[in-house]
Amino acid sequence: MKQPVVACMTFGDHRKNEWEKVFSKMTVPRHKKLVKELKKLPVDLLYFDEPARSREEISLQVEELKGRGAESFIAHTPCWTSPNLVVYGVQKMDLPTVVLGNRDAGTHGCVGLFGAGGALSQIGISHKRIRTDYDADMISPRIMPFITAASVKHRLKGSVFGYFGGRSIGIDTSQFDPMQWRKLFGIDAEHIDQVEIIRLAEEMDSKRVDAFRIWLEQNSGGVHYNSEKLTREKLDFQIACYLALKKLIGDHNLDFTAVKCMPELSNSYVPQCISAAFLPDAYDGDEGEKESIVMACEADADGALTQQILKIISGGRPTFFADVSHIDEARNMIYCVNCGALCTWYACRSNCGNENLKAVTINQSVRPGGGGITNFFAAPGPMQLARMYRKDGLYYMAVIPCEAVAPDQNMIDEFVEARGPHQLPALFAKVSIDFETFTQEFGSNHISGVAGMYIDELIETCRLLGIEPVVF
């Protein structure tokens, strides 16, 4: 996934006398210094070599920077500059904006910063203000969460969500209002019937299916076939459904998806667990390396949207989707368990797919349609859990930092005893939260996550999207 695209424009004093005698000597060196430091950040930086001092120069720079795909805007005011010109540039750029000034007492930087920021506030233009020294290490923690959030907002706008089926087994919190999404996030929703997956799966090239199955058999921890539920024919059809779903995503130019699955496909055909396991992965047995594509189970639209936000924030990392299956107060843990699939990257957190697969077994599904499920305990490491949910029509986002931990034998024995023979893939999340508050507030039975910690980025994203973050 490409890095955030950031436009930077330095505003200079428009008065000829003051510019030539005073402010050019302070503004130009600081413009060059800022550009040098911003280039050290993980961004695609767009800029001009010279400050903009007139409407004509501002218009020229804006047109060029927007044309090159800018997603956020840094309005640099190192010295005094006419606030109306900064407002002019910000309005024409029309992107999430940081007004950036400096801490040098000799530059009149505060005057430029507050003059521009105050004018923007007067007309209701939301922006972030930063006073900083010109040092990438100081700038990064203050500006990168905002830049990342701006990229999320920009990339959601115009994206297409593939909604396969409808409400699954009565889960109301999986539902969404497509026009609310259009209004709030600029996302289009393409409704597609699940029968399309089955139709294309039945037409799938058997050589592609065979190659994928052999890849699974040779690289996974084992495919536990039996004569009833998990036959080779059932697994082949699950693989064919996955390949069919990939084709539909390409045909419809979908950016992220949710699939109903239960009960129709899981009862009368096969559950879509192979798709849920490998679509979010960065590899599979068909293409080798590929882009991670979000898929939420049980047609959970808000779950899929949460995953897509996490994917963009993390730079394209695989995401996972699961139930909040159990709260273990004694161990300060949430058990995140899916009904048949977790993204296999989380088995070992390796960029080598074959290494992850060694820790994954394919066991039989208990669903009437049979087939296989992926089974493993997620590898330890920092995790960002999150969930978009609604209360009385308004969106909130639960933000839950945690640490995935490897279960000890006692935990495994208790888990197996409690779950019985129906063992499922699970991530054990160590948290530091008030469980009573969580129980009263959390708005879904599903939860999403991505490897890493992105609290500040999620809070900034919520602010830019106009939703309320709820940090546990």
Residue pLDDT, tens place only, 167-216: 999 899 999 999 999 999 999 999 999 999 999 999 999 999 999 999 99
Is residue 359 located within the same domain as residue 467?
yes
Q: Please, what is the average pLDDT of the chain? A: 95
Based on C-alpha coordinates, what's the Rg of the chain? 25
pLDDT in tens, 34-69: 999 999 999 999 999 999 999 999 999 999 999 999
Identify the band that residue 420 occupies on the pLDDT scale cut at 50, 70 and 90: confident
Is residue 242 located within the same domain as residue 213?
yes
Is residue 148 located within the same domain as residue 234?
no
Bond from prior residue into 271 cis (ω within 30 degrees of 0): no
Contacts of 122 (CB under 8 A, 6+ apart): none
pLDDT in tens, 440-472: 999 999 999 999 999 999 999 999 999 999 999
Point out the least confidently predicted range of 93-97, 121-125, 226-230, 429-433.
Answer: 226-230
pLDDT in tens, 265-310: 999 999 999 999 999 999 999 999 999 999 999 999 999 999 999 9
Is residue 61 located within the same domain as residue 168?
no
Spatial separation of the C-alpha atoms in residues 58 and 65, rounded to whole Å: 10
Domain boundary among 121, 156, 191: 156
Identify the band that residue 414 occupies on the pLDDT scale cut at 50, 70 and 90: confident
Q: State the CATH number of the domain containing residue 10.
A: 3.40.50.10940
Number of domains in the chain: 2
How large is the average pLDDT for residues 223-235?
A: 95
Identify the band that residue 259 occupies on the pLDDT scale cut at 50, 70 and 90: very high
Q: State the CATH number of the domain containing residue 205.
A: 3.20.14.10
pLDDT in tens, 340-355: 889 999 999 998 999 9
Residue 95 has a pLDDT of 98
Residue 109 has a pLDDT of 84
pTM summary value: 0.95
Is residue 127 located within the same domain as residue 176?
no
Is pLDDT of 422 > 70? no
Is residue 254 located within the same domain as residue 306?
yes
Is residue 265 located within the same domain as residue 121?
no
CA distances from 74 to 5, 68, 393 (A): 11, 15, 34
Spatial separation of the C-alpha atoms in residues 26 and 316, rounded to whole Å: 40
Residue 108 has a pLDDT of 83
Is residue 149 located within the same domain as residue 169?
no
Do 109 and 101 contact (CB within 8 A), yes or no?
yes
Identify the band that residue 33 occupies on the pLDDT scale cut at 50, 70 and 90: very high
Residue 412 has a pLDDT of 86
Domain boundary among 101, 127, 156: 156
Contacts of 166 (CB under 8 A, 6+ apart): 260, 299
Spatial separation of the C-alpha atoms in residues 260 and 169, rounded to whole Å: 9
Residue 413 has a pLDDT of 87
How large is the average pLDDT for residues 132-150?
A: 96
Q: Is 156 exposed, middle or buried (0-12, 13-18, 19+ CB in 10 A)?
A: buried
Is residue 94 located within the same domain as residue 206?
no
pLDDT in tens, 365-395: 999 999 999 999 999 999 999 999 999 999 9
Do 361 and 225 contact (CB within 8 A), yes or no?
no
Is residue 170 located within the same domain as residue 101?
no
How large is the average pLDDT for residues 321-329?
A: 94
Residue 310 has a pLDDT of 98
Is residue 357 located within the same domain as residue 415?
yes
Contacts of 297 (CB under 8 A, 6+ apart): 168, 258, 259, 261, 272, 276, 303, 321, 338, 339, 341
Is residue 148 located within the same domain as residue 291?
no
DSSP 277-314: HHSSSSEETTTEE-----EESTT-HHHHHHHHHHHHHT
* Domain ranges, residue 135: 5-156
Domain boundary among 156, 179, 199: 156
